[in-house]
A and B are shown apart, each in its own frame.
Chain A
């Protein structure tokens, strides 16, 4: 009665099975394996372009830390990345996919720049505090907009936050070419360089943004782990229905959390304009808001891990630029190398979730 072709079909050779849980030890072993695989694959690529992989890798690592100059450079790269990754974390914890860190950084920068340009007669300390708060408010408001529309009309936050990035970017353009254009700069439109009074002080040779970042790591860790609001964020992220059931005001929580998320990203923008660039340019965020997503996700939204991963990322970036100049390679080469390494690290995430079963011989 049943069909004839039934016994001809064989079992597939490999099957993929979902893992239930994985121990911390195994995760670390897998991550190290991923790193090793990345280095090998990157090595093959380096060989293919006719270079010695060992030299290149040594240069990358040494390049990031070889001198105090290099170290400072690495840390400078790390600061906005760290702060923005921290900023994304509370939103992601709530499963609110904030892709708009880029825009929130920019808005933080714009708000802070306003005070740097027009209130630089204020005492230095006061001015910086005002700029800090302005940066937070700017980023926070930019985060609040998608949150409001999400709670009010159920709009998709991913698209919404993404679009706001471009609006923010074009706002900088507007200010550069319009109202804030430096009259002193002839021809090339730019915003005036901040006066000394409006620049962030340096601590150990790097602008104080690193200290702000470290403080934020601790504050955010405590906020998410031990406070009532942190608890609310986790519950909303877990299930909106459960949160409603517990009597939480879900709308309020989403708006508040997105304000905080945007505000932290805004701080990143503020430190960039006042600590690194001393002016507001189109490159103030420079893709940091997107890299921050990768960092936050790889760190499993743990502020302490974010610190570690940020340093690794910054090292890679700084080291690669040193490699570029030392060996006279094009920037595409370091781009490819960074891509390969990221691909393996992110790809190995798969192995922490799934395992393979091979067909047994019968």
Chain B
């Protein structure tokens, strides 16, 4: 009987095509998941993973092709339809009401008869939690929760709506290694309970660890589906990128031995007046890459903005070659050679002007040079053309609005401009977020090159594996405090993970 159940596919997508304007996001994709199976959907950014899953969850609609759920042809017009069909998606960005409790969030919008909150509802939540090994306090308010707890609420929310097909969009991007392990436990439980799970990711080791099969997308097409047991990281990468790739990051050494930036007892408030950086002290040396690790929202953004003079410093000092730069305007700081390349989640919101072309964007920090009221674009044009060649930037022309470039290319434009300005200090936040493997390595190489030139690089990162290879030292932030600064060579991912959650015994840290 068990076997018979396995034969109907939980999901079957046939020849799904979706275009946005002239861009083909998905081209005739076939995909299937059995009940009780975990399928990993692997692909570089822009390969069409999220688009494909959004069609399953009713956010987009395919231009052509058909969807079968439990063997039945269906049309999914809205997320509501998807839920009725038993498809639940857990998005990268949580969709929870912060001021409500876990229970309230879970039952919110679940259409059930009756006016009052039945006791049976909380019973059901408990049931679900037990069955899948999900651990939450149902009365806790969402704003008090950690990222991992919020994710758990999202999962219960979907299960509460009786979804037996779960889609998780990059669920581990925001988790520490320990939390990831816990999530995988949950997924395995679901598998045992007969759920079909699709997990979107671009982390190879996770694919190998959790999935039964892997479907690989490349440039909107499904290039292969392989059994996880019969594949390797190397093969997956090649399928994903389309050709063999060398997967190691260089780690050159040098012997500059000079303090470049000293940060003393820095405290920074965000715009709401909350202390995001609390009394931190560290220094950045010439010719080193100092990594900054931490769970998202631990104060990384505020640190960068404060150093660049964009956010006022509440207390403390930032010494650049023994001169305090606290209180200086961004303009004065730029002139001192502290170039900051800050790439927030909203990539085009800061650092680039989205509707302008590369040429105009090259001018951003230099337009004021030169005399007279007019802007001179000649050099900028040459610089833009040079960067296109150097960094393999794909753009129709150097005057095409940068918002029309892909995420990776946007990043290259930004980083290229910053490096060209010949900085002494380079602050990069999530420099490779959204980049494909090749572009990522181009960026790592560029950073290493800067390091060898004697530039001090502050590298705010997400991927601990990368940081361990690339950085010289790693500083861990947790709730705006430093929980440790360690030599990258002498530490492990697990140790960093512990420091990220402040479990290593560092005092303070609100819960």
Cβ–Cβ < 8 Å partners of A360 in chain B: 64
A123 on the B face (CB < 8 A)? no
Chain A contact residues, CB within 8 Å of chain B: 1-3, 5-7, 9-12, 15, 18-21, 226-232, 234-235, 238-239, 241-242, 244-249, 357, 360
Given contacts A6-B84, A20-B22, A246-B367, 9 further A-B contacts (CB under 8 A): A1-B70, A6-B72, A9-B77, A11-B75, A234-B353, A235-B364, A238-B356, A245-B364, A357-B63
Cβ–Cβ < 8 Å partners of B363 in chain A: 231
In the bound assembly, the distance between CA atoms of A235 and B404 in angstroms comes to: 17
B310 on the A face (CB < 8 A)? yes
Q: Is A242 touching B331 in the complex (CB atoms < 8 A)?
A: no
Cβ–Cβ < 8 Å partners of A238 in chain B: 353-356
In the bound assembly, the distance between CA atoms of A2 and B88 in angstroms comes to: 12
Chain B contact residues, CB within 8 Å of chain A: 20-23, 61, 63-64, 69-70, 72-75, 77, 81, 84-86, 162, 164, 308, 310, 329-334, 340, 342, 348-356, 360, 363-365, 367-368, 373-375, 404
Instruction: Name the contact of A245 in the complex, choosing from B77, B86, B162, B342 (C-beta under 8 A).
Output: B342
**In whole Å, how far is B45's beta carbon from the nearest beta carbon of chain A?**
19
Cβ–Cβ < 8 Å partners of B367 in chain A: 228, 231-232, 246
Q: Which residue of B lies closest to A248 (CB)?
A: B331
Q: Is B353 touching A239 in the complex (CB atoms < 8 A)?
A: yes
Cβ–Cβ < 8 Å partners of B310 in chain A: 241, 244-245
In the bound assembly, the distance between CA atoms of A95 and B72 in angstroms comes to: 50
Q: Is A20 touching B72 in the complex (CB atoms < 8 A)?
A: no
Cβ–Cβ < 8 Å partners of B329 in chain A: 247, 249
In the bound assembly, the distance between CA atoms of A245 and B340 in angstroms comes to: 9
Q: Is A12 touching B85 in the complex (CB atoms < 8 A)?
A: no
The answer to whether residues A11 and B77 also contact, given A239-B354, A245-B351 and a CB cut-off of 8 A, is yes
**In whole Å, how far is B129's beta carbon from the nearest beta carbon of chain A?**
20
Q: Is B61 touching A15 in the complex (CB atoms < 8 A)?
A: yes
Cβ–Cβ < 8 Å partners of B340 in chain A: 245
Instruction: Name the contact of B350 in the complex, choosing from A3, A20, A234, A245 (C-beta under 8 A).
Output: A245
In the bound assembly, the distance between CA atoms of A230 and B368 in angstroms comes to: 12
Q: Is A228 touching B349 in the complex (CB atoms < 8 A)?
A: no
In the bound assembly, the distance between CA atoms of A252 and B450 in angstroms comes to: 35
Q: Is A228 touching B353 in the complex (CB atoms < 8 A)?
A: no
Q: Is A21 touching B21 in the complex (CB atoms < 8 A)?
A: yes
Cβ–Cβ < 8 Å partners of B308 in chain A: 245
Cβ–Cβ < 8 Å partners of B349 in chain A: 239, 241-242
Q: Is A3 touching B356 in the complex (CB atoms < 8 A)?
A: no
In the bound assembly, the distance between CA atoms of A228 and B377 in angstroms comes to: 11
The answer to whether residues A19 and B330 also contact, given A11-B77, A238-B354 and a CB cut-off of 8 A, is no
Q: Is B330 touching A247 in the complex (CB atoms < 8 A)?
A: yes
Cβ–Cβ < 8 Å partners of A5 in chain B: 84
Q: Which residue of A lies closest to B86 (CB)?
A: A2
